Structure 1
Amino acid sequence: MNAKIRQRRPAFDREAGVAIAQALFHQRGYDAVSLADLTEAMDIKPPSFYAAYGNKAALFERAMRRYAQENALPLDELLAPDRHPAETIPALLLAAAEQYGRNSVLRGCMITEGMRADDPAARLMAEKLADGGLQAIRAYLDRVHPQGAQAMADYIAVTLRGLSASACNGMSYERLTEAARTAGRFVARELETDDPTTAS
């Protein structure tokens, strides 16, 4: 007699689930991704989802951390102390634009766009993750451009957010990177003007 052999469903891979969620959150934004979207994409039931991740917001945080590990700008390299700030800041803006616009589907910065979420918990998580990079930029400016560090740090933050939003809104890679170069030229002029070592 032939007995039917029940095929066991493969164990759910939680890290693979985080990768799936990361792509969904990045493409659509936190608010537009529902629990049903997540469970359908992961091919699991809601109870398994809650057992694996707790809730949507907690999964969003894990997805953002994964995104940061894979896509964080190399600030240690870009803001190297042996380079003049008139070179490093434009390089930082261009690197950000290249990253935000290189993928035709996953555009912009997932963490930056997460700060626009309607959900307060998700927004706070994104703000905390973004704060680390902004603090690194401010610390660099405090060392190399102390007389205008706050204003320059604010300008850089606004520019990065604008580049991310423009990428999400469909601006082409070419226009995005040219906008970053234009902003970089402005920064370079400002920093060189304020640098007493470059005065004639």
Structure 2
Amino acid sequence: MTTKISRPRGRPRRFDADQAVATAQKLFHARGYDAVGVADVAEALGINPPSFYAAFGNKAGLYTRVLERYAATGAIPLQDLLRPDRPVAECLAALLEQAARHYAADPGAAGCLVIEGSRANDPDARQAACAYRVAAETVIRDFIAARVPEEAERLTDFVGTVMAGLSAQARNGHGLERLLATARLAGQAVAQTLVG
């Protein structure tokens, strides 16, 4: 008895989808969503645009996959920093300093992929990035609310604003020392708010 093995129609893919998402992540992080075209991604992957569309649907579809990968492997580890056994002010200061380090780690891809993506012109890409930003803000708000509920909204807004500013300044060329100085100043403001 022989078993006939059916093969998928068409030519086999010449690229690994996970590696393609990693490559696209570098492009989007370095240039921003709006500045990267399908042709740029296809060229970086060594495929033609029809193969790109067959694999990812469209640019926003690929970007969603990039955001999923970033959240799983490259985002700031909120759960590790926002610990219930440490004071709230200490945790938020550590979060802001980690953001500064993270955003300055690669000058070629500075800033936060999610924060910068939430400014994209494409509504689908912007919505996808905003969903991750809101999810992160919810984690921060819930952490604060569990300990100092009366300050949760205000401090979450402050931390989110500082992180967005750190991301923007990293993309503008501010180095680690300048970003850390800003993060530490913001950490002092948080500590004063929680003491007062």
- The number of aligned residues is 186
Which residue of 93, 105, 124 maps to 1:102?
105
Equivalence for 1:157: 160
1:76-87 to structure 2, matched below 5 A, reads: 76-87=79-90
Percent identity over paired residues:
46
Q: Give the conservation status (yes or no) of the 8 Å contact 2:14–2:47.
A: no
Q: Give the conservation status (yes or no) of the 8 Å contact 2:42–2:48.
A: yes
1:102-159 CA deviation, whole Å, 9 max, x = no partner?
A: 1121100001100000111100000011111110100011111111211111101101
Which residue of 114, 132, 136 maps to 2:139?
136
1:56-95 to structure 2, matched below 5 A, reads: 56-95=59-98
Equivalence for 1:127: 130
1:35-83 CA deviation, whole Å, 9 max, x = no partner?
A: 1111111110111111111110000110111111112222222111111
TM-score (structure 2 length as normaliser): 0.91
TM-score (structure 1 length as normaliser): 0.89
Q: Structure 1 stretch 139-148 or stretch 113-122: which is displaced more?
A: 139-148
Q: Give the RMSD, CA atoms, in angstroms.
A: 1.4
Q: Structure 1 stretch 166-175 or stretch 72-81: which is displaced more?
A: 72-81
CA distance, structure 1, for counterparts of residue 114 and residue 174 of structure 2: 19
Q: Give the conservation status (yes or no) of the 8 Å contact 1:86–1:192.
A: no
**Aligned residue identity for 1:179:** T
Q: Which runs of 5+ in 2 are unaligned?
A: 1-10
Describe the shift of the 1:140–1:9 C-alpha distance in structure 2 as closer, same or farther (beyond 3 A): closer
Equivalence for 2:195: 192
Q: Which runs of 5+ in 1 are unaligned?
A: 1-7, 194-200
Equivalence for 1:173: 176
Which residue of 21, 32, 42 maps to 1:39?
42
Q: Please state whether the residue corresponding to 1:105 is helix, strand or coil.
A: helix
C-alpha deviation, 1:10, in angstroms: 7.5
Q: Give the conservation status (yes or no) of the 8 Å contact 1:90–1:187.
A: yes
CA distance, structure 1, for counterparts of residue 38 and residue 89 of structure 2: 46
CA distance, structure 2, for counterparts of residue 10 and residue 60 of structure 1: 20
**Aligned residue identity for 2:87:** H
